[in-house]
Amino acid sequence: MYLESCCTNLDEVKKACDNGANRIELCERIDLGGITPSKQLLVDSLSVSTIPINVMIRPRGGNFVYSEDEINRMIEDIWSFKNLDINGYVFGCLTSDNEVDIPAMKKLMTAASGKPVTFHRAFDQVRNPEKALEDIISLGCTHLLTSGNMEDAYAGRFNIAKLVEQASGRITIIAGKGIRPQNLKQIAIDSKAPQFHGTSLF
């Protein structure tokens, strides 16, 4: 079972490594749903981590509809991490109509070129999950983090299974939100997701 641990400080990074996580998603301000971590936190985390680190690129909490200035800031953040040994990036942009913001995503994908990209749980706010999944695949994202458009991954586990079937190996679906050791097995069985993401997996 492939487990990604959401970490916001060095202690959490060390704990994830020591307890069997396969990958880390690094961010700060989990109370806001996660934002871009400081470069210093990323540098320090890379120095202690024994597993790959994906870094979140998100300039603020709130919605996922970003202004041109915010997109430019996200591009700058991506470039500021380019010389570091990260595994990949995590980001997602929506339009005011809750569709994938293709132009904004293309700019970010170009900046992230050469690294895996996870489209995060902004996906769970889209109006048409089937169309959004195809858009995300067409952009070249390698992973999609989702709770199946529900409040948490347990409630959305059967929707996640539909996404896994639709994706048919073209993108890796990561089940996330509200996953705990006590519900992980059932989510894995019902969702058929190949990877799992959480803040309290260990």
In which band, very low, low, confident or very high, does the pLDDT at 201 lie, cut at 50, 70 and 90? Answer: confident
Write down the pLDDT at residue 21. Answer: 96
What percentage of the chain has pLDDT greater than the value 70? 100
Note the CATH architecture for domain 2-197. Answer: Alpha-Beta Barrel (3.20)
Q: DSSP readout, 43-103? A: HHHHHH-SS-EEEE--SSSS-S---HHHHHHHHHHHHHTTTS---EEEE--B-TTSSB-HH
Write down the pLDDT at residue 114. Answer: 84
Write down the pLDDT at residue 36. Answer: 98
Segments making up each domain of the chain, as ranges: 2-197
Write down the pLDDT at residue 75. Answer: 98
101-135 confidence digits (pLDDT tens): 999 999 999 999 989 999 999 999 999 999 999 99
In which band, very low, low, confident or very high, does the pLDDT at 200 lie, cut at 50, 70 and 90? Answer: confident
- Kindly list the distances between the CA atom of residue 155 and the CA atoms of 102, 124, 168, 202, in Å, as whole numbers in the listed order: 28, 12, 22, 21
What percentage of the chain has pLDDT greater than the value 90? 95
Return all residues near 83 (Cβ < 8 A) that are at least 6 apart: none
75 phi, psi to nearest 5 deg: -65, -40
The total of other beta-carbon atoms located within 10 Å of residue 114's CB is: 6
Whole-model pTM: value is 0.95
